[in-house]
Amino acid sequence: MDILNEVKKIHEKLVELRRDFHLHPELSMKEYRTATRIEEELDKLGIEHYRSAGTGVVGFIRGEAATQPAKNTGADESESNVGHQNSTREAKDRVVALRADIDALPILERDDRTYCSENKGVMHACGHDLHNASLLGAAIVLANNKDKFAGTVKLIFQPGEEIGAGAQEMIKNSEVKGVERIFGLHVAPDLRCGQVGVTTAINNAAVDHFRIEIEGKATHVSTPQLGIDALYIAAQTVVALQALVTRTTSPIDPVVIGIGILNSGTSYNIVSGSGVIEGTTRTTSAKTRQDVRDKITKTAQNIAEIYGGSAKVIWTDYTSALINDERASEEVREVVRDILGDEAIKTRPISLGGDNFAEFILEVPGAYAYLGTSNEDKPNTLIQIHNEGFDIDENALDIGAALYAEYAIKWLNADFN
CATH number for 288: 3.30.70.360
Same domain? 269 vs 374: no
CA distances for 286 relative to 201, 279, 282, 295, 360, angstroms: 14, 19, 11, 14, 16
Q: Which of 97, 103, 105 is closest to 161 using CA atoms?
A: 103
Same domain? 294 vs 365: no
**Structural domain boundaries, residue 263:** 206-319
CA distances for 186 relative to 7, 24, 169, 412, 416, angstroms: 18, 20, 20, 23, 23
Q: What is the structure's pLDDT at 181?
A: 98
The SS3 assignment for 320 reads coil
For residue 186, say whether it is annotated as part of any ligand binding site: yes
Same domain? 215 vs 345: no
Q: What is the structure's pLDDT at 26?
A: 98
- 319, 339, 363 — which closes off a domain? 319
132, part of any domain = yes
Q: What is the structure's pLDDT at 1?
A: 82
104, part of any domain = yes
For residue 124, say whether it is annotated as part of any ligand binding site: no
Same domain? 251 vs 264: yes
334 touches 410 (CB < 8 A): yes
The type of residue at 284 is T
106, part of any domain = yes
For residue 213, say whether it is annotated as part of any ligand binding site: no
Q: What is the CATH number of the domain that holds 75?
A: 3.40.630.10
Same domain? 300 vs 399: no
- 288, 319, 350 — which closes off a domain? 319
Q: What is the structure's pLDDT at 82?
A: 40
Look at the chain and report how many structural domains it folds into: 2
For residue 126, say whether it is annotated as part of any ligand binding site: yes
Q: Which residues of the chain have pLDDT under 50?
A: 69, 72-88
Residue 378 neighbours by CB under 8 Å, 6+ apart:
391, 393
213, part of any domain = yes
- 319, 337, 372 — which closes off a domain? 319
417, part of any domain = no
Q: What is the structure's pLDDT at 68?
A: 55
Q: What is the structure's pLDDT at 81?
A: 42
Q: What is the structure's pLDDT at 83?
A: 39
Same domain? 39 vs 167: yes
**DSSP labels for 229-246?**
-HHHHHHHHHHHHHHHHH
Same domain? 347 vs 303: no
363, part of any domain = yes
Same domain? 200 vs 210: no
C-alpha 338: how far from chain center:
26
Rounded to whole angstroms, the Cα distance separating 68 from 56 reads 33
Same domain? 193 vs 218: no
Same domain? 315 vs 339: no
261, part of any domain = yes
For residue 162, say whether it is annotated as part of any ligand binding site: yes
Same domain? 47 vs 196: yes
138, part of any domain = yes
Same domain? 260 vs 403: no
